[in-house]
Amino acid sequence: QWDLEMETTLRAKRWVFNSALPYLKKSDNGVVINFSSIAAIVGRCGPASYLFNDGYAAANRAISLFTETWARLAAPNVRVNEIMLGIIDTRHGKNTRGWGLLTDKQKEALRLHTLVERTGTFEDVVKAVLFIINDAPFMTGSVLRLDGGYVLGGEKIAPMPKGVEPLDINTKFF
């Protein structure tokens, strides 16, 4: 599994980038978007352990290094960014083979560990891609985490206890 992850996740991306870079540089407005996974951050911790293996996590961690290195290599004519995906319907989510192998309890744990309490959609991914291409011309070497808050862990902020006043923004501290 380890070798397969390195081959498909890293080597294939590097080959495509190296092959395309000369043409992208000639375009004067090239954009490269690497896709990675939150496995790069969470590894096999928490509910993600139902979906991610060590090789997958390590390979996805390396994609961020590729993104930063390639942004330097491609500048100034080509922008290179990364979209780090969480649990997306068509990638680890409900429309994939692996999702069907999970128990209802495991699926619920993944959902509740995500702040927005749902999996991402194909449309969510398309909107992120279009944002990087069309609305972020000054963005390069960056990672856009599209995970619905999964990495933050799903724990929401509790209300303040009675008698504790929220911080007044006009309070002077010094």
What is the secondary structure of 56-92 as a DSSP string? HHHHHHHHHHHHHHHHHHHTTTEEEEEEEE-SBTTBB
Contact 8, 37 (CB under 8 A): no
At 16-38, the pLDDT tens digits run 999 999 999 999 899 999 999 99
Specify the DSSP element, H or E, that contains 35. strand 30-37
Q: What is the pTM of this model?
A: 0.87
**Dmax (CA) of the chain:** 64
Residue 24 domain flag: yes
CA distances from residue 34 to 38, 101, 103, 114, 144 in whole angstroms, order as listed: 13, 28, 31, 23, 10
172, part of any domain: no
- In this prediction, residue 156 has a pLDDT band, given cuts at 50, 70 and 90, of confident
- For the chain, where are the alpha helices, taking DSSP H only? 2-5, 12-27, 39-42, 54-74, 97-100, 104-112, 122-130
> Would you state the pLDDT for residue 161?
84
Residue 146 pLDDT exceeds 80: yes
Asked if the bond preceding 76 is cis, omega within 30° of 0, the reply is: yes
* Total domains, the chain: 1
For residue 97, what pLDDT is reported?
66
Residue 13, judged by CB atoms within 10 A of its CB (0-12, 13-18, 19+), counts as buried
Average pLDDT of the chain is: 91
In a domain, 159, yes or no: no
Q: Is 109 exposed, middle or buried (0-12, 13-18, 19+ CB in 10 A)?
A: middle
Q: Using one digit for the tens of pLDDT, what is the confidence trace for 81-93?
A: 999 999 988 777 6
Asked whether residue 153 is domain-assigned, the answer is no
Reported as a single tens digit per residue, the pLDDT across 60-107 is 999 999 999 999 999 999 999 999 999 988 777 676 667 888 899 998
Print the domain residue range for 35. 2-146
68: in domain: yes
Confidence of residue 162 (pLDDT cuts 50, 70, 90): confident
Question: Is residue 166 a part of any domain in this protein?
Answer: no
Residue 171 lies in a domain: no
Query: What percent of the chain clears pLDDT 90, i.e. is strictly above it?
Result: 66
Report if residue 49 sits inside a domain: yes
CATH of the domain at 31: 3.40.50.720
For residue 158, the model assigns a pLDDT of 81
